[in-house]
Amino acid sequence: MDSLEQVLSGTTVATAFQQWFDQDTTAIVTGGAGEIGNAIVRLLGSFGVRLAIFDRDPAKLEQTYELLKGEGLKAEYRLCDVTNENELTESVSYVVEKLGVPSILINNAGITRDARYNNISSEAWSAVLKTNLDSAFYCTKVIAPHMERLRRGRIINISSRAILGTPGQANYAASKAGLIGLTRVLALELASKGITVNAVAPGWIDTRMTRNVVPESAERAINQIPLKRAGTPQEVANVVCFLSSNWASYITGQTIFVCGGRSVGLVSV
């Protein structure tokens, strides 16, 4: 059997993976200081992508930035409320000046305010929809025109397996389902500009949020996963990185579940 190097027509594995991204590629990652966002920026940075991290948590932003800088990665960060279009526009202008025109946008900002439907306040409903869904629209509206001028771009929206139905998450599931619809429409509208738009829908991922779930509920959730374990932020980042790369140039309008098979249905064996 031919070696991988031979299959790649003599190019080395390292060279092949360098071709995942063009030189001087800049990515904006919202919610980049969270656990999944952190995994995404570190992986993109390892491929030489210049990183712009947007988040509302100043302590986590600083911590993430110092981590990236310690790893020798090119990064900038902005304390930014991505639900505020004016603030977002200012932050994007800063990124263009410091790092160059962004050709990758990862809409990862998200929050939860879980409760049964009759206990969800108007504030909790609006906050979740605004952060999880509205921000992705605003970010695309501000950043996609820059990509259009480049005639290339990748937009990845972080949705959730919760769109298939999770009791106690009516607001969260609605916001993440909205992202799927937004993804499909944007994929059609931006295709002629050389921009692909896809969604990634994580399932039960080992983050602070799932670690705070009571053990009985966590055990029940994991038992419903065919692979019988939680996923990791790195496993989500792997898919996001691929969809952001040149190797995913013919994929658009799709939703990729990263859920250990949980999206297939309930496990009965």
Tokens coding 53? 């991290």
Q: Vertex 186, ends 150 and 74: CA angle to 5°?
A: 45
Catalytic residue among 65, 77, 172, 250: 172
Nearby residues of 202 by Cβ (< 8 Å), 6 or more positions away: 36, 158, 160, 161, 231, 236, 258, 259
- Chain mean position to CA 212: 22
Any idea how long the chain is? Answer: 269
**Does the active-site annotation cover 172?**
yes
Is the sign of the CA dihedral 249, 251, 252, 254 positive or negative? negative
φ, ψ for residue 10, nearest 5 deg: 90, -10
Distance CA 230, CA 163 (A): 18
Tokens coding 1? 């059997």
Neighbour count for residue 24 (Cβ, 10 Å): 12
Q: Bridge partners of 180?
A: none
Catalytic center residues? 172
